[in-house]
Amino acid sequence: MSDWITITIDGKEIQAKPGELLVDAAARAGIHIPVFCYHPKLDPLGACRMCLVEAEGRRGKMLITACTTPVADGGVYYYESERAVDARQGTLELILINHPLDCPICDKGGECPLQDQTLEHGPGKSHFWEEKNHKAKHYPLSDLIMLDQERCIVCWRCIRYLEEWEDKPQLGLFHRGGETVIDKFPDGKLDAYTSGSIIDICPVGALTNRLARFSYRPWELEKTPSICTHCGMGCNLRIDSRTHRIRRNVARENAAVNDEWICDKGRFAMGFASHPERLQEPLARINGELRPVSWPEALDRVVRGLKRVVETHGPAAVAAIGSAKLSNEANYLLAKFMRGVVGSNNLDFREGSAVVADPRGIPSLADARDADVIVLMGCDPGEEMPVLANFLKRAVLRGGAKMIIVHPRAIELTQYAAAFINPTIGAESAAFDALTRATLDASDAIIPDWLPEVEEAAQVAGISVEDVREAARLLSQAKRPFIVYGVDYAWGYGARNLVTALTNWVVAAGHGERLGFLHSQANALGAADMGMAPDRLPGHRPLSDARARRELEARWQTEIPTQPGLSYGAMMASTPDRIRALYLMGADPVGEKPADAKALAELDFLVVQDMFLTESAKLADVVLPAASYAESRGTFTNTERRVQRAPQAVRTVGKSVADWAILMHLARRYAPDKKDAWDTPSVDAIFAEIAEVVPAYRGMSWENLGESGQQWPRDAVSLSRELRPHSGAAIPPSPDYPFRLVVGSLLWDGGTVFAATPQMAGLARQAAWLHPDDAARLGVQEGDAIEIRSRGGSIRTFAHLDPSIKPGSVFAPYSFPAAPVGNLFDDYVPRTSVAIEKVT
Amino acid sequence: MSGLKDVYESAREIGKAMGLTLKTLATEKPITVEYPDQPMAVYPRFRGRHELRRYENGMERCIGCCLCEAACPTGAIYVEAEENDPDNPISPGERHAKVYEVNLLRCIFCGDCERACPTEAIVLGHYIDLASYDRRDFILTKEDLLNPPEPNTIIRPAG
Ligand code: SF4
Ligand code: SF4
Ligand code: SF4
Ligand code: SF4
Ligand code: FES
């Protein structure tokens, strides 16, 4: 306690940390000084005067704001003195002069700090009888946020949040005195991806959730601590429901993951849960048509259908596709069902085994916040993980971190980058060779003979030698770097070489252990942990590991086939030749690539387990309605290996059933003799089994995961990081297909989960992005209809001209059903070349 | 001796009372109400079946604030609010009740909902004919509440 100091509040001595704010020191001692403008995650401002206390000073006692005053050693303060109490009452009376009496219709009412503090600290009556000032009410700031200017108490929290965390000053105060209003800037918009955070932190009902508007009163909500499943970050949130309908999501604090922020997708895109098109009951194809059937009948049909294929073509003709959006339990049971009951290793998920990911994800999300150097390679947190993007911006702006970005596009974060390297698409490995070489040149390490000269490699990659040397220098000198690569460089042609090349650079810089893969999907890491891969058992143990197999065989009462299965791409390519039956759980390959509808229609047997009647489900023999994650219990493992709980928040829709329960009942029907192996009547029991068979999860249980989850130890899966040669020659451009296709995710996409929230439909914009120079050459203007063709197929979409696009490339975002980029892939992986034509 | 006096006193009292009875019998009509054939008179502050009131211009008073629901000790009220269409508002202001239900089987007619309402929308009226053969009839919908059998209950005297 030596570095603590003593202060006195109302005659009581309390311990405080030097330099800490009086309001914080007092709170620790149980004295809760009321505040409005002060927020622990924002810079102190002293705007509202709610926190007035008296302080003993050289010229006697004076009123100070506790939220801006650092404690002084031996400082004497009075919170309950008559003058302080009077001053706070006066402040409240003043705030209330123009405050409307809206509480009964105000969405904040019931959880409103202004109400609460008026009750506790207010004067009880007003001296003011005149008419109140009138300002704009129910004024939409965006599709998502409603403003009531009359209710605003001018605390600046929203303004500061947008400036300090988003670096997007999109709100400001206008006019003066009692006329002051909060508003957007003229012609400005409020479109920061975490804009909804200002709803959570507004201390009154000035900023409210437009999608949840008037649909709840705070006191009647069921509050379920859960997580967001839109991206691999796994932000913690709370699902507030009533009458089993989700009313709103609000952020939940987890210091290690999302601090106390969530992005607007997590907050607002929740319409999937109560969507009218959700599947209500099982369907089976009877006389060529999908008709409702009972659960027992549906399951019996699945059993019969799969068994028929196994008997005629053998178990290797059955394949299953899981989902990186579904829980560990669902994926584990699907893998267990396929390997342990059907007897097939044909298991994968989209962006599964074909992605050259680090199975351990990233070392830790918290590293991003105090990093001194940030390296982003082939990932775009700005669109994929907005909360992480905010941490990165803040590390640069406040922590002085240097950011290095290597990306096919000038992503939004590029404006914060100390070095932006934009290699020729198809020649990225050369860029990393240059970086590796520059790093080694600057050290006294031995240079492997396969490594080209900096100049030579830089020329192949089309990048400047200075940028290379600067980036190499920054990373070599880093003390606490945050280094991640993403799916853009880890999936598709040449990805394996590319990942080897980028790893070489990080290893050469001496930070091999800090390199990580940023999983963009909610449970991509978890699904791999569960063995949702053609050649990996749960816990990343290879299929060839006889001991691991024996352990599982004993538990699963089975014999696991030793022949590795087919990957996602191989499965789809060999449908319907080698694969005769397909089980899709939360996967929609036809939605990804409509051209595959024909192959799927020719299958002997197709089962789809999903929330909606997807394009694939329309072809199915049996459709099993699955509950959404909010309607079932499950665990998800985010990109920093944090296993987190998502308890059931609302009851299931219609006759839909949780994924794990469908699989359990199916397995029991399929193999009654394996009853003991499938005695897993609850998520807790399945998770207990997972904790036993996945070594990294040992010791975990639903209970001890707690409300902030547990990370599995990074050394539970070993991976050697060393300099390795690669054969990553540049992919030559093709005359017929002159453009490189760049794919990636946008936050506002047209995917099922997002499209199910109709109020957000206006945010998503289907387009392919072109550099204006390329567009000019093609005679294409903004908004023109264009056709993109590849060897694999074609799509039609609209042109969006954007200078952030590298000339010679076209950026086509995923998840727009009307422009399915999957059609353009060869062999079901990206990184291909295309031709573009204007549609007239 | 007092015993004889007591008997005399008692007889006198009985005689007096009987006299009143006979007098009333002769001069006043019976006050028994032949309910339900005849309507039952209730006191002005009697708390009977609920109703939702409107303003003179026909607008609904209820703003869907759910305070009645919160005040109700038996959980008899269910409200779902909705935003007013500015061109076609149902109540003054931004918000109205989309769903409003009172479950009379739960209600104990305490009147707390009436006291909680900031707009004097929900009131307990004088209607008491609440018997029914069907339990569902005891869930009063917003439609039922806006169109009470005996409308326009005055809840507070003017001034
Ligand atoms: S902001 Fe708070 S005090 Fe103001 S009307 Fe809303 S609930 Fe009432
Ligand atoms: S809108 Fe809310 S957060 Fe913003 S200044 Fe006004 S009261 Fe503060
Ligand atoms: S009268 Fe009392 S019990 Fe009946 S609905 Fe109103 S508050 Fe509830
Ligand atoms: S009846 Fe009154 S208290 Fe109940 S929701 Fe309507 S306005 Fe609010
Ligand atoms: S909380 Fe201290 S001035 Fe606002």
SS (H, E, C) A11-53: CEEEEECCCCEHHHHHHHCCCCCCCCCCCCCCCCCCCCCCCEE
Beta carbon of A122 within 6 Å of any ligand 1 atom: no
pLDDT of B153 higher than 70: no
- Residue that has been written with the tokens 């294929």 in this structure: A309
Looking at residue B52, its pLDDT comes to: 95
User: Which amino acids bring their CB within 6 angstroms of ligand 4?
Assistant: B 62-68, 79, 97, 116-117, 119, 121-122
Looking at residue A754, its pLDDT comes to: 82
Torsion angles phi and psi, residue B128, rounded to 5 = -125, 0
Query: B-chain residues within 8 Å CB-CB of A109?
Result: 65
Q: What would the two tokens of residue B44 be?
A: 């002005």
B113 touches chain A (CB under 8 A): no
Looking at residue A2, its pLDDT comes to: 59
B118 touches chain A (CB under 8 A): yes
Q: Spell out the domain ranges in chain B.
A: 1-31, 40-155
Give pLDDT tens digits for B20-31.
999 988 888 887
| Distance set, CA A574 to CA A62, A569, A615, A827, B118 (Å) | 81, 9, 19, 11, 68
Query: B-chain residues within 8 Å CB-CB of A105?
Result: 63-65, 93-95
A210 and A199 Cβ atoms separated by less than 8 Å = no
> Which residue has the least CA distance to atom 7 on ligand 1?
A109
Site from A105, A211, A217, A220 to mutate, B interface, most B CB atoms within 10 angstroms:
A105
What does pLDDT average to over chain B? 89
Contact B83 A214 (CB under 8 A): yes
> Looking at chain B, which residue has its C-alpha nearest residue A139?
B94
CA proximity to A521, closest of A385, A646, A394, A635: A385
Beta carbon of A156 within 6 Å of any ligand 5 atom: no
Q: Which atom of ligand 2 is nearest to the CA of A157?
A: 3
Element (H, E) at B139: strand B139-140
| Distance set, CA A358 to CA A5, A257, A296, A392 (Å) | 47, 19, 41, 21
How far, in Å, is the centroid of ligand 2 from the Cα of A263? 19
Rounded to whole angstroms, the Cα distance separating A679 from A110 reads: 45
- Residue that has been written with the tokens 């700031």 in this structure: A141
| Buried b / exposed e along A735-750 (16+ C-beta atoms within 10 A) | eebebbbbbbbbbbbb
A602 touches chain B (CB under 8 A): no
Q: What would the two tokens of residue B75 be?
A: 């959980």
Q: Number of A:B CB contacts under 8 A?
A: 32
Site from B63, B77, B80 to mutate, A interface, most A CB atoms within 10 angstroms:
B80
Residues of chain A below pLDDT 70: 1-2
Beta carbon of A46 within 6 Å of any ligand 5 atom: yes
Beta carbon of A37 within 6 Å of any ligand 5 atom: yes
A419 and A463 Cβ atoms separated by less than 8 Å = no
CATH class of B40-155: alpha beta
The whole-angstrom distance between A239's CA and the closest CA on chain B is 19
Rounded to whole angstroms, the Cα distance separating A69 from A608 reads: 61
Looking at residue A696, its pLDDT comes to: 96
Per DSSP bridges, beta strands A809-813 and A739-744 are parallel
Looking at this predicted complex, what is its ipTM? Answer: 0.89
Site from B66, B78, B82, B96 to mutate, A interface, most A CB atoms within 10 angstroms:
B66
Looking at residue B44, its pLDDT comes to: 83
Query: A-chain residues within 8 Å CB-CB of B66?
Result: 217, 220
Q: Which of A494-497's residues contact partners 24+ apart within 8 Å by CB, and which partners?
A: A494/A426, A494/A428, A494/A429, A494/A728, A494/A731, A494/A831, A495/A355, A495/A356, A495/A829, A495/A831, A496/A356, A496/A726, A497/A429, A497/A726, A497/A727, A497/A728
Contact B94 A220 (CB under 8 A): no
B104 touches chain A (CB under 8 A): no
How far, in Å, is the centroid of ligand 5 from the Cα of A735? 65
Query: B-chain residues within 8 Å CB-CB of A219?
Result: 70
A655 touches chain B (CB under 8 A): no
B64 touches chain A (CB under 8 A): yes
pLDDT of B1 higher than 60: no
Q: Residue B156's pLDDT band (boundaries 50, 70, 90)?
A: very low
CA proximity to A110, closest of B59, B76, B53, B66: B66
Looking at residue B137, its pLDDT comes to: 94
Contact B70 A138 (CB under 8 A): no
Rounded to whole angstroms, the Cα distance separating A302 from A624 reads: 10
Top mutation candidate among B74, B103, B117 for ligand 3, by most atoms within 8 Å of CB: B74
User: Which amino acids bring their CB within 6 angstroms of ligand 3?
Assistant: B 71-74, 76-77, 102, 107-113, 124
pLDDT of B159 higher than 50: no
B90 touches chain A (CB under 8 A): no
Q: What is the value of pTM for the model shown?
A: 0.93
Looking at residue B152, its pLDDT comes to: 52
B95 touches chain A (CB under 8 A): yes
Looking at residue A829, its pLDDT comes to: 86
Rounded to whole angstroms, the Cα distance separating A681 from A685 reads: 7
Dihedral over alpha carbons A354, A359, A364, A368 (to 10 degrees): -20
DSSP A782-818: TT-EEEEE-SS-EEEEEEEE-TTBPTTEEEEES--TT
Average pLDDT of span B39-64? 90
Identify which of B63, B66, B118 has the shortest CB distance to residue A217. Answer: B66
